[in-house]
Structure 1
Amino acid sequence: MIGRTYGVDLGTSVIKIYKKGKGIICNQKNIIALEKNSVLAIGDDAFAMYEKVPGNVRVTYPIKNGVIADIANMEKLFNALLKEISKGGKTRNAEYVIAIPMDITEVEKKAFIDLVDSSRARKVKTVAKPIAAAVGAGLDVCNAKGAMIVDIGASTTEIAIISLGGIVVSKLLPIGGDTFNDAIVAAVKRNYNLLIGKKTASKLKKVLGNITKVADNVYAISEEESSDMAESEESHLTSLSVYGRDVLTGLPQKIIVESSLVVDAMSEGLEVIMEGIKGILERTPPEISSDIIDSGIYIVGGSATIKGIDDLVREHTGLKVNVSENPENVVVNGIGTIIETHDLSKAVCKIVK
């Protein structure tokens, strides 16, 4: 590929952009803040406003359940990010490679293509998201050895069997990190009559959503200080003191949330994912099944960081489980490898414009 080439991983929660020869140049929240039709903030700046804005300001995620639900605002956000990362340079007349989920409609696929084309792209190519994930996980996707990819994102889980550069079988489940956050919000409200924000729920998931082990520490945390907690401290906690609004009195209140409540809240969604994995394995051709027994299952995506997720998959399938380092960046790194490798790009990408 010659000229300026960008790879795009458009997630429900985060948008990542890779530039050929430069690496990842954008890793920001896929969110936009609007007042009427005027853009107030995008990306991480808009996320800082989430759940805190007055009634005349709307903060919204343009992608729902892995597909573009609000194309107009997604275009505003995407092109504003391109302008920001170009620092006065050109992003028009560039080549784009965008990862697209499987198991979605042709109309939904076209929305992804139209989005990057809105930047006046010279050429647009697509790659199946599970293929990009497999490349990012270090797999040789063009050989005959089959592999299983489980991409647990913010609002969806994509499960796929790949072989010879293509998708053998796949399934897109409407379950992801946001599902767990919503379940935690509901569980805290049900058990304590306390309404917490989704950011607080996400922190509870990250710190207390440990599927496999329990310890004995309690830590009081506010939303502002949560980002300052060291990873080493987090790994030993079984309780967090969190703040919210009492639904009966309307007053602020602090409670202690136990790990057991968080894990229980997540259990239903996790079970759906486990059943989805087993369902795909049952549909896998026998010869590829032997490959998966040998290589195991590869778990990627932002929610692959849930503590103990590998043990849970191993328990349900009896197979070896591989969790990539920095699993949230596996797809965009895979796109990067594809656009930096001419033969690989020819093998796995489809030119759509």
Structure 2
Amino acid sequence: MANNAFGIDLGTSKICIYNHEKKRVFVERNMIAIENKKNVIAYGDSAYEMFEKAPDNIVVSMPLNNGVISDINNMQDLLRLFISEITKGNYKNSDYVMSIPHDVTDVERRAFGELIEDSSMKAHSVSVVEKSIACAIGLNIDVKSSQGVMIVDVGYNTTEISILSFGGIVKSKLVKIGGNKFDDIIKATVRKEYNLHIGSKSAEALKMQIADLKRSGEKGVVYGRNVASGLPVECMVDPIVLENCLRESFLQITDNVKELLESTPPEIGANIYKQGIYITGGGSLVSNLCQNVANGTGLKVNTSDSAENSVIFGLAEIIRNNKKYKNLTFEV
């Protein structure tokens, strides 16, 4: 594989790019800001800064929805801008390896390849690999072994639960619960309990503070609009209220994990019992989710300090050891 190869993990919320030449991972928000329906004025983290603040003539959007491409033109623009920024414009004839969800249709699978092929990047090759397989490799799991492994990847819109063995996916299930739903629940709870309307950014910030707030015994500070008066106010939010409101979503994820385990072949189930469940993805960092899965299944739960980056780390390993993992990728 060429030295100027790229690994690309397209998440609904964030885009991760591994540049083999620089041996670096770049992570930015998967967002683009369009002015007057035609001019790209910001992308990535810069576009996120404008989210929920932009005037009517500027639309800030995510080109992906539920892990699949919903706006191919904006996604192409974003990729080209990111790759050009990373390489200073020197990206012609590069190899690309992209992670894709397991449950995508053939049309959706081709759309991922067309992102590169139909852009001006003139790729040497474009390959795809199942996201859960890349994730497992990024967690230093030997995916080619006979040992069955369960991966629970909690993303922005969805949670992908997969059982792997011999380099393939034995069973997989996509649950439409993720970090975005957690944010929506927090927004609704703060509105109900504190009579306060907050934005998605504030809800996300509260979500990621729950564990630290519980540990310190403090309350979270959030700013929003009072529902009754319509005026901006400051509010102190109890982390226990936030944690409790997410419990039902955690239970739904746990129930789906159990459901997949119940239909798993006994020998693979025995492997999972011994090794435990691997939970990863940005959504897995929310306080008490992993503990809820452990309590609900009675199994050990393995976590990672770099849960948000396990897929891109796996893509980097696939690029570095292309011959070893060649049979796990598919050219599109």
Q: TM-score range by the shorter chain?
A: over 0.9
1:149 is matched with 151
Compute the displacement of 1:261 (Å).
Answer: 2.0
User: Structure 1 residue aligned with 2:261, among 265, 281, 284?
Assistant: 281
- Are the counterparts in 2 of residues 25 and 85 from structure 1 also a CA contact under 8 Å? no
Structure 2, unmatched stretches of 5+, are: none
2:103 is matched with 103
Compute the displacement of 1:142 (Å).
Answer: 0.6
User: Structure 2 residue aligned with 1:201, among 203, 211, 216?
Assistant: 203
Please report the RMSD computed on the Cα atoms of aligned residues, expressed in angstroms.
1.6
Structure 1, unmatched stretches of 5+, are: 216-234
Q: Does 1:45 align with 2:46?
A: yes
Q: Does 1:350 align with 2:330?
A: yes
Compute the displacement of 1:336 (Å).
Answer: 0.4
Compute the displacement of 1:201 (Å).
Answer: 0.4
2:78 is matched with 77
1:236 is matched with 216
Compute the displacement of 1:237 (Å).
Answer: 4.2
Q: Give the whole-Å Cα distance in 2 for the aligned partners of 1:253 and 1:59.
A: 26
What amino acid maps onto 1:65 in structure 2? N
User: Structure 1 residue aligned with 2:281, among 298, 301, 319?
Assistant: 301
Q: Report the TM-score, using the length of structure 1 for normalisation.
A: 0.89
State the aligned residue count.
Answer: 329
Compute the displacement of 1:260 (Å).
Answer: 2.3
SS class of match (1:270): helix
Compute the displacement of 1:21 (Å).
Answer: 4.3
Q: Structure 1, residues 121-149: CA drift from partner, whole Å, max 9, x if none?
A: 11111110000000000100011111000
**Residues 313-324 of structure 1 correspond to what in structure 2 (within 5 A)?**
313-324=293-304
Percent identical residues: 43
- Are the counterparts in 2 of residues 141 and 162 from structure 1 also a CA contact under 8 Å? yes
1:227 is matched with none
SS class of match (1:312): helix
Q: Structure 1 pair 86/2, CA: closer, same or farther in 2 (3 Å)?
A: closer
Compute the displacement of 1:187 (Å).
Answer: 1.1
2:68 is matched with 67
Q: Structure 1 pair 237/147, CA: closer, same or farther in 2 (3 Å)?
A: same
- Are the counterparts in 1 of residues 213 and 220 from structure 2 also a CA contact under 8 Å? no
Q: Give the whole-Å Cα distance in 2 for the aligned partners of 1:303 and 1:272.
A: 14
1:166 is matched with 168
1:330 is matched with 310
Q: Give the whole-Å Cα distance in 1 for the aligned partners of 2:229 and 2:322.
A: 63
What amino acid maps onto 1:113 in structure 2? G
2:247 is matched with 267
1:28 is matched with 28
Q: Structure 1 pair 140/124, CA: closer, same or farther in 2 (3 Å)?
A: same
Q: Structure 1 pair 95/178, CA: closer, same or farther in 2 (3 Å)?
A: same
Q: Structure 1, residues 10-29: CA drift from partner, whole Å, max 9, x if none?
A: 00111011122433342110
SS class of match (1:111): helix
* Segment drifting more, 191-200 vs 112-121: 112-121
